[in-house]
Amino acid sequence: MLTNSILIIGGFFLLIKGADYLISGASSLARTLGVSALVVGLTVVAFGTSAPELFVNIIATVKGTTDIAIGNVLGSNLANMLLILGVAAMFAPLTLQGNTVWKEIPFSLLAALLVLIFGSDILLDGGLVNVLTRTDGIALLAMFFLFIVYTFGIRHNGGPSEEKIDLLPVWKSVVFILGGLAALGIGGKLVVDGATHIAFALGVSANLIGLTIVALGTSLPELVTSITAARKRHMDLAIGNVVGSNIFNIFFVLGISAVLRPLPFGGANLTDAFAVVIATFLLFLMLFIGQKYVIERWTGITLICMYVGFMAFAVLRG
């Protein structure tokens, strides 16, 4: 147990550092090639903070531990929406732009609804099993493409980018990119192996481990980014990081996973997907209570309590 715990902690360290180096190298290289800072923030930084989920899911899917892959995405989205936004709101009330409220959060809600629909084959199609098929994965990737098109369409909204990009020599940028990718790959394997062994040793489901330990670990980049942004009063970055990551996780990470291998979608997965839908919808409603378009401190406390409550339910269920 101790060895597997060390594997997971070491894996999380490599995932976080790998994402950091990947962002630094890719951002610097993009700027050297003349890409604007805002576009880098909307693409490279968004990819970087979700890279841990992506690499963990690819490795888990290839190894056949699909419960960890699904639990990681749904658990990360719950952590992003409830825990990370809640904690960030403790540092400063988060004011959202109209675009985020009426377009990006509903887009995140659509992503969660599609997963719930795609995973309900028995109920909706009269199938024998619930499964996210390769066709479902392709549909999710197509939605991700539409989101990228939308993102580039609003790249001039909201003023200049708040992302500070340090320019590096080209050779160093390439080394950072390759080193970051290597760290992500190794870290992802360590986390999946350690989590699988712990689940087996404790006699609990791999889905529970993915939903809790793995999801929290892979959400650390979003947590650090959002808290730092909230403390510096960069509200767009604090909110956009979380909402963008949730959309990225479902449409791209889960889409890639389903294309690599069809993902059986059990009853616990349906419950978790439904929880993501409800959490996203409640967040949307809370933006119209009290100060309009603002996540106040009381809202943050409510979100954190919701997260703790669902995690307690998941542990008892598991």
Give the residues across from 94 on adjacent strands.
295
- Level-2 CATH architecture, domain 2-317: Up-down Bundle (1.20)
pLDDT on residue 219: 83
Farthest CA pair distance, the chain: 57
Write the CA distances from 276 to 40, 247, 258, integer angstroms.
28, 12, 19
Element (H, E) at 132: strand 131-132
Give the residues across from 179 on adjacent strands.
none
Judge contact between 279 and 82, C-beta under 8 A: yes
Burial 81-109 (b: 16+ CB within 10 A, else e): bbbbbbbbbebbbbbbbeebbeebbebbb
Q: What is the DSSP string of 155-198?
A: TTTTSS---------HHHHHHHHHHHHHHHHHHHHHHHHHHHHH
Judge contact between 36 and 51, C-beta under 8 A: no
For every one of its 318 residues, what pLDDT tens digit does the chain have, with 9 covering 90 and above?
A: 778 888 888 988 888 888 788 778 877 877 787 765 545 555 666 677 778 888 889 988 988 888 889 999 999 999 999 999 999 898 888 888 787 788 888 999 999 999 999 999 998 988 889 999 999 999 999 999 998 888 777 655 544 444 556 778 888 888 988 888 888 888 888 888 888 888 878 888 888 888 988 888 888 777 777 777 677 776 666 777 788 889 989 999 999 999 999 999 988 999 999 999 999 999 999 989 888 888 999 999 999 999 999 999 998 886
pTM for the model: 0.84
Judge contact between 84 and 223, C-beta under 8 A: yes
Burial 4-29 (b: 16+ CB within 10 A, else e): beebbeebbebbbebbbbbbbbbbbb
Write the CA distances from 308 to 83, 206, 218, 314, integer angstroms.
8, 20, 18, 10
Judge contact between 274 and 109, C-beta under 8 A: no
Specify the 3-state DSSP secondary structure of 49: helix
Give the residues across from 18 on adjacent strands.
none
The terminus-to-terminus CA distance of the chain in angstroms comes to 19
Show me where the domains of the chain are located.
2-317
Phi/psi of residue 132, each to 5°? -85, 105
pLDDT on residue 195: 84
| Burial class of 160 by CB neighbour count within 10 A (0 to 12, 13 to 18, 19+) | exposed
Long-range (24+ apart) CB contacts under 8 A made by 289-294 are 291/93, 293/95, 293/96, 293/97, 293/98, 293/101, 294/93, 294/94, 294/95, 294/96
d(C-alpha 85, C-alpha 239), whole Å: 7
Q: In the structure encoding, which two tokens stand for residue 273, read together? A: 């997907």
